Amino acid sequence: MFYREAGDFKTSYQSDQATFTLRLDKILFWGLMAVATFVVPFFVTEYWEKSVFLPFFIYSIAALG
């Protein structure tokens, strides 16, 4: 485990029910979203786009119903 929530006390219901309770989680999430948005599209080949990403997205949508 890389981090623990010990000592990180919540003072309101809103902060207790947050999706990302730790600051590190928020930073890593938005960093990953930035890389996925601005870096990956420039390095994806047609093979990865048609053979890997497209079926992955189709099956993801099908799994969500």
Span 34-45, pLDDT tens digits: 999 999 889 999
Phi, psi of 30 (to 5 degrees): -70, -30
Could you give the CA distance from residue 50 to residue 17 in angstroms, rounded to a whole number? 38
DSSP 49: I
d(CA 60, CA 54): 10
Average pLDDT along the chain: 87
For residues 22 and 8, the answer to whether their CB atoms sit within 8 Å is: yes
Higher pLDDT, 58 or 14: 58
